[in-house]
Amino acid sequence: MIQRVLALVKMELLKLIREPANLFMNLLFPAVLTLVFGLAFGALGGGDGSLFDMMAPGLFAYACIFIIMTVSMSFTDDRENGLLKRINVTPTTSTQFIGSHIITNMLIAIIQLTIVFLLSLLMGYRPNVDVFGVIMAFIFMLFLSLCSVGLGLITATIAKSAGAASGLSFIFILPQMFFGTFIILPEGIRIISAFLPSYYVTDAITVIFGGGSPFAVGILIQLGIIALMGLVIVILGIFLFRKYGKV
């Protein structure tokens, strides 16, 4: 089983490196976004940096949200090229196959967080956090990547082609970007945030990087919520894709 999962993870990581679109969406885009926001609102850009300090935790989530697009495109592309069928006639189970995608995207989330974190520091961001806080932030990001894989699978179920998947993925990307990260919402529509995984991640990382305890009850409750959301979404994604995804 391990041999199969490792082979699939290796293949997905090679796809990340060798496919320019994947490389851009997963690694270059978060980096460019951090640099742009850092220059515009950070201390390096001439301001007092307080605005960028507020934005930075949301930027960590931003990067991870775009996993929805790459996962949905990857699945639809593989389906269009008959590769899902081909894997389906090997002894690989769907759990091993989806599991390899989850592991790959968790690894990508770790790389993304590292890139965005280091670039944010370069742009003048100074979080008040210890090593446990950083580890907790990584754990939150891993669960957000799990949600993104699940939402990517749901998108791939609906989309007929990789092109359609890239467009449809914005159904899940945009609400999370605008209602679940650093944009301050009017009171009336703030309730929407409660349904968005990115809200819990941004909120928890803001508190942790602002000097709050990573083991505070509020943080642990948010961790529980995002973990539950991740599991439910990914199970739903697997179910829908297996049933209606036309593998």
Residues that bind another protein (CB under 8 A): 3-4, 6-8, 10-11, 14-15, 18-19, 81-83, 85-93
In terms of CB distance, is 126 or 160 closer to another protein? Answer: 160
Smallest separation, CB 81 to another protein (Å): 6
Smallest separation, CB 54 to another protein (Å): 39
Could you give the C-alpha distances from 224 to 6, 68, 95, 105, 125, in angstroms and in order?
28, 21, 23, 20, 28
Smallest separation, CB 87 to another protein (Å): 7
Smallest separation, CB 9 to another protein (Å): 11
In terms of CB distance, is 1 or 235 closer to another protein? Answer: 1
Angle (CA) 111-112-118 rounded to 5° is 90
In terms of Cβ atoms closer than 10 Å to its own Cβ (0-12, 13-18, 19+), residue 188 is: exposed
Q: How far, in Å, CA of 211 to CA of 141, rounded?
A: 18
> Alpha helices of 19-49 — where are they, by DSSP H?
20-23, 29-41
Smallest separation, CB 83 to another protein (Å): 5
In terms of CB distance, is 26 or 176 closer to another protein? Answer: 26
Q: How far, in Å, CA of 247 to CA of 241, rounded?
A: 8
In terms of CB distance, is 20 or 186 closer to another protein? Answer: 20
In terms of CB distance, is 14 or 118 closer to another protein? Answer: 14
